[in-house]
Structures are given as structure tokens and as C-alpha cells.
Homo-oligomer: A and B are copies of this chain.
Amino acid sequence: MKGSIFIVSAPSGAGKTTLCKMLIQSMPDIIHSISYTTRPPRPGEVDGKDYYFVKEDRFLEMVRKGEFLEWAEVHGNLYGTSKQKLLETINNGTDVILDIDVQGASQIRAQQIDATFIFILPPSMEVLKERLTKRQTDTEEIIQRRLQKAREEIKQYRSYDYVIINDELEVALEQLKAVVLSQRLKTEKIPHEWVEKTFQLQSLL
């Protein structure tokens, strides 16, 4: 059975990273997509596990050849998702989750890849502000800019297939699991040959 691709986006502070991590820990046969990056490995990071680490030349060559499903520059480093690696994984029957921003998601949508798009919303603007403030690392100005960016991103929620409101983490996790599980139950996932053989449908007039 072929795996599915799940694209998960959310404004910063909605709890996307935590949710995706918990999902992968609690469900079999689903993994996090591994990105290509030009950023040098940090201590402990393993090539092919955390990222595929490549030189900028190689990365740009892949861009030119259209090998990325999406790519972006973040703080001077390039990050991208290889179409081929992704298709290999789902062809092996494993689901893949891509934890990605609205721009990346929109690049993927434009390529009409068969994927399930999930948007995580915070329960309210107040809670989002609270979560961003709790980090205590950011100034009021940065927080305001993040909130403004969050609203810009939330504006895009209608181009996603599913919306999960992350109020209580356990509830949101159950909902995310239900979306993933339900995709596995889609009729087109069942090999028709298996049904035909199991129920001897060929012999029917």
C-alpha cells in the first residue's frame, strides 16, 4: 500500500513542531521528511538522518533541474525537499510528514502533488501571544511582528484540507492522528487485485 504525504503548516507558536513530533512517536509507518540544506551540520547532526548536507553548488544544481518540491532561503542558508526522496518513501508504503510554512506549502500545491494539507490554528490570538511571550527571548517589538506575521499566515488556512485547533495538546494530537489514519483508509489505497483475489470477484458474471 502506497504511503501518503502530509503537509502541516501553522503560525509560529501554534505548536506544530511538538504535534508533529508526538504524532511520529505515537504512530507506526510515518516519518518526518528529511530536507536538503546548505547549512553546515551542527554537533551531533547526522547526514541522511537530520538533513542531507550539501554544498551550495550542488543545491543550486538541484534547483535548476527542478528536483525540489519546494525550497527556500532562511538566514542565508538554503533548505529544500527532494521530490524523488519523497516519492521513494511513499512508494515504500511509509507516510511522510512535511512540517512547512505557508509559502512552502503553496509551492507544493502548485505542483499538484497528491498530498493532504493540514493547518494548525491556535485557539485564540491571546493564547498565541501568551505562547510567544513565554519564550522570554523576544522583545515586545519582535513579538508584535510575529503576531502580525501569524495573522498573515492564518489568512491562508482555507487552502488547506483540514484545520486542527490546538487548544489542548492531547486533543489536537488525537485529531491529527485521525486525519492521518483516515487517509490510509481511502478506497484508492486498497490494492484492487487484493480485493478481487480475496473475494473471487473475477468469477462473477
Contact = CB atoms under 8 A, between A and B. Distances in A.
Interface of A: 119, 121, 124-125, 150-152, 154-155, 157-158, 160-164, 174-175, 177-179, 181-182, 185-187, 189-190, 192, 195, 198-201, 204
Contacts of A181: 174-175, 178, 182
Nearest to A128: B199
Q: State the oligomeric state as a number of copies.
A: 2
Given A175-B185, A181-B182, 12 more contacts: A119-B187, A151-B200, A157-B190, A158-B187, A162-B185, A162-B187, A163-B187, A163-B189, A174-B181, A175-B181, A178-B185, A179-B182
A16 to B, nearest CB: 15
B152 A200 contact: no
B198 A186 contact: no
A185 B192 contact: no
12 contacts: A124-B198, A154-B195, A154-B199, A155-B204, A158-B192, A160-B187, A162-B182, A162-B187, A163-B187, A163-B189, A164-B185, A178-B181
A200 B204 CA distance: 59
B190 A163 contact: yes
**A-B residue pairs, 10 tightest by C-beta:** A182-B182, A178-B181, A178-B178, A162-B185, A178-B182, A154-B199, A179-B182, A163-B187, A163-B190, A151-B199
